[in-house]
Amino acid sequence: MWDPEVYRRYADERDRPFHELTGRIGAGSPASVVDLGCGDGRLTATLAERWPGASVLGVDSSEAMLAGAPAGPRLRFEAGRIEDWAPAGPVDVLVTNAALQWVPAHWEHLPRLVGAVAPGGWLALQVPGNGDAPSHALLRRLRASPRWRDRLGDGGRWPDVLDAPGYVRSLARLGCAVDAWETTYAHVLAGPDPVLGWVRGTALRPVLERLSADEAAEFEAEYGAALREAYPAEPYGTVVPFRRVFAVARVPA
């Protein structure tokens, strides 16, 4: 279950890629804008502010995330899955930020998503590219350890995403002009166990859901200790490198 409160804990760090992504969308006055995997809709609302003539739709599979979505005259939210989503009409700007990594083999959905965009329109996506980061490698290793492997297995490499050239190839072969890039943010996170706090809102969530409360506490304690070693606390905070992959595609007119 997604928990909007836990997810929002590192709002500044999590919001920045959305703004850097959408900043590269060159649309002037789109009529229809969709945000797939919109979460609590706070960032979706910024799209309605940017394009005052647009009707903006946020779609998310989590009712809990949508529960606090903001209201607005041109702003609408609905429950739905990226895998099955089909728009009522062509979309001028399609944004999906930090959501596609939850869709298995999401690159196979790119032709459908590009097909949903009107001629001359835009598709903008951002995914975390931190599957090899210590935070995720340690999680896999702990899951696969003798204590947990029967319950959890290693879960496979996650997030499973393409690199920037991979998105260029996938989208350019569909006829799009593509601007793709990667960034590694060096977040400096405050407080005790900040990496554990971060992954509680993402990668750790589906793992803990499979355990009892006592088991979850035991798993977290072991994982937290490993994270403290991999990401030592410094006097100024804990430095957490975080790679993200971006692609903005212009559909041919």
Closer CB to ligand SAM, 102 or 148, in the complex = 102
39 binds ligand SAM (CB under 6 A): yes
Distance CA 114, CA 94 (A): 9
Q: Rule CB under 6 A: is residue 160 a binding residue for ligand SAM?
A: no
Rounded-to-integer distance, Cα 242 and Cα 198, Å: 11
Q: Categorise residue 41: left if φ over 0, alpha if ψ from -120 to 50, beta otherwise.
A: left
Dist. CA 137–CA 49, nearest whole Å: 39
Restricting to residues 199-218, which ones interact with ligand SAM according to CB under 6 A? 202
Our finding on whether 195 is near ligand SAM (CB under 6 A) is: no
Q: How far is the CB of 132 from ligand SAM (least distance, A)?
A: 19
Given the complex with ligand SAM, which of 13 and 218 has the nearer CB atom?
Answer: 13
Using DSSP bridges, classify how beta strands 237-250 and 177-189 pair: parallel, antiparallel or unpaired: antiparallel
Q: How big is the chain by its Cα radius of gyration, in Å?
A: 19
The footprint of ligand SAM on residues 76-135 (CB under 6 A) is: 81-83, 97-99, 102-103
Residue 198 makes contact with ligand SAM by CB under 6 A:
no
Q: In angstroms, what is the minimal distance from the CB of 35 to ligand SAM?
A: 7
The answer to whether residues 220 and 195 touch, using CB atoms and an 8 Å cutoff, is no
Task: Give contact residues for ligand SAM (rule: CB under 6 A).
Answer: 2, 14, 18, 37-39, 43, 60-62, 65, 81-83, 97-99, 102-103, 202
